[in-house]
């Protein structure tokens, strides 16, 4: 795995999977309990760290490589390896099974629209529909559970942005792989060991709004930056996009309003909801199915509030019809809108 050779001696027990491009995530649940995700399926592997101290040494060296500490005072770590892979660590006694490490690997190649269609993650007609929404500068939210393909879909949607647009991206760790020439990528910064120097999504979003963006792409909405993004969408920054963790399209709007409340302003609920429906135009719902496949499960249009409640119109949905001889789900992407 390029860029982390100096960590390889500490990560030796999982190096075969670090080097395997087909493995998307490595999950270490204590020194002798290691799983990988490959092809959408989780598998326990026959490998182990020699001891808990050896695993802790690996975690500590990851922390040192990004200028962080991992100890009783700071028992959790969010980090990014030199190749862009994301790492999260929790140490005992918080983790009862021993040190827990998750390494979500960074894709070296940008997932292409053609591959999404080839792998039946989306139909060509749905993809063309989404491309038209991006070109028309619609504000789009991509929602789904963890590891459902939200960032991959956002990457693909971003590929349809006009190359002449000035694009500002804001992420926790740079995963978007935009190819447009006028791109300004920002990355948040966590506090140092003394709790200083943190730069948040909100900080960078405030800067982005002062840098004349044509489009703003927020990697993931998690907190009070939701209100700032809604206001940006409502004040001329059309064509903006982001992702959010939610189980379905309607839940994504409820979570968005909850995040907006974290901004700290005492706004009435109805005022926030009016901001949401005025700013957001479409929700794309991604999902990871039980057979391990990832699909775009729906595209919904956001409607005006209905007696104070959110209303959506499904434009496209995935409908499962059965299972093939390999245990993979079969179905079709159906157009339901006008």
Q: Give pLDDT, residue 258.
A: 95
CA–CA separation, 66 and 47 (whole Å): 26
CA–CA separation, 140 and 215 (whole Å): 11
The reply to whether 157 and 305 lie within a common domain is: yes
* Residue 194, token pair as written in the block: 């003394």
pLDDT, tens digit, 9 for 90 and up, residues 15-38: 999 888 889 899 999 999 999 998
Q: What is the CATH number of the domain that holds 52?
A: 3.30.450.90
Number of other residues whose CB lies within 10 A of the CB of residue 303:
11
The reply to whether 151 and 250 lie within a common domain is: yes
Percentage of the chain exceeding pLDDT 70: 96
The reply to whether 313 and 166 lie within a common domain is: yes
pLDDT, tens digit, 9 for 90 and up, residues 113-132: 998 999 899 999 999 999 99
The reply to whether 39 and 168 lie within a common domain is: no
The reply to whether 219 and 249 lie within a common domain is: yes
pLDDT, tens digit, 9 for 90 and up, residues 51-90: 999 999 999 998 888 778 899 988 998 887 777 788 999 9
SS3 for 212-256 is CCCEEEECCCCCCHHHHHHHHHCCCCCCCEEEEECCCHHHHHHHH
The reply to whether 67 and 188 lie within a common domain is: no
Q: Give pLDDT, residue 158.
A: 94
Among 73, 104, 135, where does a domain finish?
Answer: 104
pLDDT, tens digit, 9 for 90 and up, residues 278-306: 999 999 999 999 888 899 999 999 999 99
Nearest to 142 by CA among 297, 10, 25, 6: 297
pLDDT, tens digit, 9 for 90 and up, residues 252-285: 999 999 999 998 888 899 999 999 999 999 999 9
CA 59 to chain centre: 23
Strand intervals (E) in 6-160: 23-29, 34-38, 41-45, 76-80, 86-90, 100-104, 140-144
The reply to whether 117 and 80 lie within a common domain is: no
The reply to whether 128 and 265 lie within a common domain is: yes
The reply to whether 98 and 137 lie within a common domain is: no
The counts of H helices and E strands in the chain are 9, 15
* Sign of the four-CA dihedral 241, 246, 247, 248: negative
Q: Is the peptide bond before 12 cis (omega within 30 degrees of 0)?
A: no
Alpha helices in 119-186 (DSSP H): 124-135, 150-158
**Cβ-based neighbours of 53, under 8 Å, separated by 6 or more:** none
Q: Residue 174: pLDDT above 80?
A: no
Among 80, 104, 128, where does a domain finish?
Answer: 104
The reply to whether 117 and 98 lie within a common domain is: no
Structural domain count, the chain? 2
Q: Are strands 215-218 and 241-245 parallel, antiparallel or unpaired?
A: parallel
Number of other residues whose CB lies within 10 A of the CB of residue 31:
20
Q: Are strands 183-187 and 215-218 parallel, antiparallel or unpaired?
A: unpaired
CA 271 to chain centre: 28
Read out DSSP for 186-204? EE-B---TTS---B-HHHH
Note down the domain range covering 217. Answer: 113-335
Lowest model confidence (mean pLDDT) among 139-148, 173-182, 214-223, 296-305:
173-182
Q: What angle do CA 43, 148, 296 make, to 5 degrees?
A: 130
Task: Write down the pTM of the prediction.
Answer: 0.83
Among 50, 73, 104, where does a domain finish?
Answer: 104
Mean pLDDT of the chain: 90
Q: What is the CATH number of the domain that holds 306?
A: 3.40.50.300
> How confident is residue 192, by pLDDT bands cut at 50, 70 and 90?
confident
The reply to whether 98 and 141 lie within a common domain is: no
Which residue(s) pair with 303 in the sheet?
Answer: 311
Read out DSSP for 258-288? HHHHTT-----HHHHHHHHHHH--EEEEEEE
* Residue 259, token pair as written in the block: 């995040």
> How confident is residue 2, by pLDDT bands cut at 50, 70 and 90?
very low
The reply to whether 121 and 55 lie within a common domain is: no
Nearest to 219 by CA among 281, 157, 282: 157
């Amino acid at each position: 795995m390029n860029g982390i050779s100096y960590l390889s001696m500490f990560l030796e027990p999982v190096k075969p999977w670090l080097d395997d491009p087909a493995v998307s995530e490595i999950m270490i649940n204590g020194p002798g309990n290691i799983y990988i995700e490959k092809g959408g399926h989780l598998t326990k592997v026959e490998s182990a760290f020699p001891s808990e101290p050896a695993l802790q040494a690996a975690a500590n060296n990851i922390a040192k490589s990004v200028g962080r500490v991992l100890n009783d005072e700071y028992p959790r770590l969010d980090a990014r390896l030199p190749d862009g892979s994301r790492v999260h660590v929790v140490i005992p006694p918080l983790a009862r099974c021993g040190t827990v490490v998750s390494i979500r690997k960074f894709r070296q190649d940008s997932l292409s629209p053609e591959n999404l269609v080839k792998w039946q993650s989306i139909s060509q007609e749905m993809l063309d529909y989404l491309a038209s929404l991006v070109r028309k500068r619609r504000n789009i939210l991509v929602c789904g559970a963890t590891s459902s393909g939200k960032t991959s879909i956002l990457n693909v949607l971003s590929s349809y942005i006009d190359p002449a647009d000035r694009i500002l991206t804001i992420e926790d760790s740079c995963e978007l792989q935009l190819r447009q020439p006028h791109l300004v990528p920002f990355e948040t910064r966590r506090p140092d060991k003394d709790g200083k120097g943190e730069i948040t999504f909100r900080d960078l979003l405030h800067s982005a709004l002062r840098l004349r963006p044509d489009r703003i792409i927020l990697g993931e909405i998690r907190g009070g930056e939701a209100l700032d993004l809604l206001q940006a969408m409502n004040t001329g920054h059309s064509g903006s996009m982001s992702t959010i963790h939610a189980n379905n399209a309607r839940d994504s709007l409820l979570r968005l309003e909850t995040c907006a409340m974290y901004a700290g302003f005492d706004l009435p609920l109805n005022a926030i909801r009016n901001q949401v429906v005025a700013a957001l135009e479409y929700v794309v719902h991604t999902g990871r199915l039980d057979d391990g496949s990832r699909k775009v499960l729906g595209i919904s249009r956001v409607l005006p509030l209905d007696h104070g409640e959110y209303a959506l119109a499904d434009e496209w949905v995935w409908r499962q019809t059965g299972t093939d001889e390999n245990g993979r789900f079969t179905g079709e992407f159906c157009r339901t809108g006008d």
